Amino acid sequence: MRRPPHPVGSLVALATALTLTAAVAPVAHAEDARPTPGAAGIGDPLFPLSGNGGYRADHYTLAFDWQAPGAAFPAVTTIEATATQALSRFDLDFAGNTLGRVTVDGRPAETRRDGDELVITPARPLRKGRSFTVRVEYTADPTQQRHRDDAIETFGWIPTPDGTVIYPQPDGAKMIFPSNDHPSLRTRTTVEITAADDLTALSNGTLVDKRPAAPGRTRWTYDSRQPVAGQLFQLAVGKYTLIDGEAADGTRLRDAIPPDLVDRVEQYRSLTPRHLAWVTDRLGPYPFDGYGLLVAHTDLGVALETQGLSLLPKADLLGDKVNAERNMVHELVHQWTGDSVAIERWSDLWLSEGHARYYERVYSEENGGANLEALMREAYRQHDIWRRDAGAPAEPTEPNLFKRMRYDGSALVFYALRTEVGADTFARIERAWTTRFRGRAAGTADYVKLASQVAHRDLAPFLTPWLYGAKTPPMPGHPDWTVDPA
């Protein structure tokens, strides 16, 4: 799939077309502005149909009329968007659920479903630069899940005894709402959840309104303020005790804990302010309005860094302290790397997971966990085997994306860089990364370039063999470390 047209490229193309028009065929000018279909994806080689072309989503309003666990329920997504080309039709990413009425600017639109693409043809074409509103009514199916053979395992809707949480990574947001489901595409989101009075509803951002909606039902409205990518969206309904707090830097804290687990998780739950201070020391100010832990009453195998509200399986907070803190710090670090600094393409995932694993391990070593150097030596030993089985850190394929190479194998790249440039320079690189790209999407080339600028030397010759290729380079400062043959 092709990328959306680059603005400069479009101008060049337009200029060329205009020149040709003048010289050859006067009627071709009208052809130039002829509306064409928006692309079905943004051109990510690993997920070619993720995201969509031809328009920019400016704001989502998501309305969920929650009923009961496992029960289908009415939902409406309203998207305010701007056409970035003359559009005859455009796509949304949407999987499963039952589609209802779709309108564009209030007029009924034609729809067609093609796999996970919802193709919408408005009654009239949309000229370039025009703002428009898409409204999609549907019946949500909260039993939808998909599976991956890597660290993700199950994603989509995750049932709880009295409601749901969601696990949208990597491309499961489309099972929750019609979206532009790519990590680089982020949109400010207002979420309205209506549920029975005895339930609590949660989403990203700040609770801006809570009011009676119908007899026995309450509507909760959240505003993300900062834009959210599909894979970092959260929607939780169920019985929760909300525990409010404030970190030393003023960050508002709100944890959501199932009532029967409040006492049992307290010893770890209460450590977030300490974790926030530790990460802030290294990566700069916390990037969002608030933070909280959403403890899920499920057997979910893994946690997820949903923006401003990390989803943690209850098992993560019911075991030993070292593992609990590792999981908590990992998801918290993601708020800076992965959430605030988003990845540009899925092949940049090493930047998100490698950073989270690296800092999780550094914190753990300082707080009773395993020795970092020993862990890195072990990751080094296996690195050629991981390269063979899962690609080099920045060379994943879709099926091996969330394999161990993206975690321990990528933490090793940061360890190698720190050893190469020294701890002080490495700390400056990291702080520059989360500062310069705060709230933006950035990729592997951006990291190499920034690291080179901060270190005042070209680090591409050092980092390229670490990130690409079949063979693991020598570890700086550790000539005795060996790699097992693949």
Report the alpha-carbon distance of residue 413 to residue 465 in Å, rounded.
Answer: 10
Q: Is residue 117 within 8 Å of 1, Cβ to Cβ? A: no
Q: Which stretch binds Zn ion (CB under 5 A): 61-69, 140-148, 341-349, 354-362?
A: 354-362
- DSSP assignments along 50-75, one per residue: SS-SSEEEEEEEEEEE--STT--EEE
Q: In the structure encoding, which two tokens stand for residue 41, read together?
A: 């994806």
Q: Which stretch binds Zn ion (CB under 5 A): 36-44, 93-101, 255-263, 350-358?
A: 350-358
Residue nearest to Zn ion (CB): 356
Phi-psi category of 284—alpha, beta or left, where left has phi over 0 and alpha has psi -120 to 50? left
**Smaller CB distance to Zn ion: residue 91 or 331?**
331
Q: Which stretch binds Zn ion (CB under 5 A): 155-163, 172-180, 212-220, 355-363?
A: 355-363
**Smaller CB distance to Zn ion: residue 344 or 353?**
353
Report the alpha-carbon distance of residue 273 to residue 333 in Å, rounded.
Answer: 13
Q: How far is the CB of 224 from Zn ion (least distance, A)?
A: 20
Q: How far is the CB of 331 from Zn ion (least distance, A)?
A: 7
**Smaller CB distance to Zn ion: residue 158 or 237?**
158
Q: Which of residues 31-60 bind Zn ion (CB under 5 A)?
A: none
Q: How far is the CB of 356 from Zn ion (least distance, A)?
A: 4
Report the alpha-carbon distance of residue 208 to residue 94 in Å, rounded.
Answer: 27
Q: Which stretch binds Zn ion (CB under 5 A): 108-116, 250-258, 353-361, 429-437?
A: 353-361
**Smaller CB distance to Zn ion: residue 44 or 353?**
353
Q: How far is the CB of 358 from Zn ion (least distance, A)?
A: 11
**Smaller CB distance to Zn ion: residue 116 or 353?**
353
Q: Which stretch binds Zn ion (CB under 5 A): 7-15, 33-41, 285-293, 351-359?
A: 351-359
Q: Which stretch binds Zn ion (CB under 5 A): 34-42, 119-127, 215-223, 347-355?
A: 347-355
**Smaller CB distance to Zn ion: residue 119 or 329?**
329
**Smaller CB distance to Zn ion: residue 89 or 345?**
345
Beta bridge pairs of residue 293: 310
Q: How far is the CB of 247 from Zn ion (least distance, A)?
A: 21
283 three-class SS: helix
Q: How far is the CB of 381 from Zn ion (least distance, A)?
A: 23
Q: Is residue 34 within 8 Å of 86, Cβ to Cβ? A: yes
Q: How far is the CB of 353 from Zn ion (least distance, A)?
A: 5
**Smaller CB distance to Zn ion: residue 303 or 455?**
303
DSSP single-letter state for residue 2: P
Among 356, 401, 412, 441, binds Zn ion (CB under 5 A): 356
Tell me the CA distances in angstroms from 192 to 75, 138, 202, 317, 337, one per residue in order.
10, 15, 10, 29, 28
Q: Is residue 5 within 8 Å of 42, Cβ to Cβ? A: no
Q: Is residue 85 within 8 Å of 97, Cβ to Cβ? A: no
89 Cβ partners below 8 Å, 6+ apart?
Answer: 37, 38, 119, 120, 121, 122
**Smaller CB distance to Zn ion: residue 203 or 327?**
327
Give the distance between the most distant pair of CA atoms in the chain: 78
Number of residues that bind Zn ion (CB under 5 A): 2
Q: How far is the CB of 303 from Zn ion (least distance, A)?
A: 8
Q: How far is the CB of 354 from Zn ion (least distance, A)?
A: 9
Angle between helices 372-390 and 408-421 (to 10 degrees): 120
**Smaller CB distance to Zn ion: residue 89 or 361?**
361
Q: In the structure encoding, which two tokens stand for residue 98, read together?
A: 């039952």
End-to-end CA distance of the chain: 34
**Smaller CB distance to Zn ion: residue 76 or 376?**
376
Q: What number of residues does the chain have? A: 486
User: Binding to Zn ion by residue 302, rule CB under 5 A?
Assistant: no
CA dihedral for 156, 157, 160, 165, sign (positive or negative): positive
Q: Which stretch binds Zn ion (CB under 5 A): 217-225, 346-354, 378-386, 460-468?
A: 346-354
Report the alpha-carbon distance of residue 295 to residue 195 in Å, rounded.
Answer: 19
Q: How far is the CB of 334 from Zn ion (least distance, A)?
A: 5
Amino acid at 91: D
Q: How far is the CB of 341 from Zn ion (least distance, A)?
A: 14
* Footprint of Zn ion (CB under 5 A): 353, 356
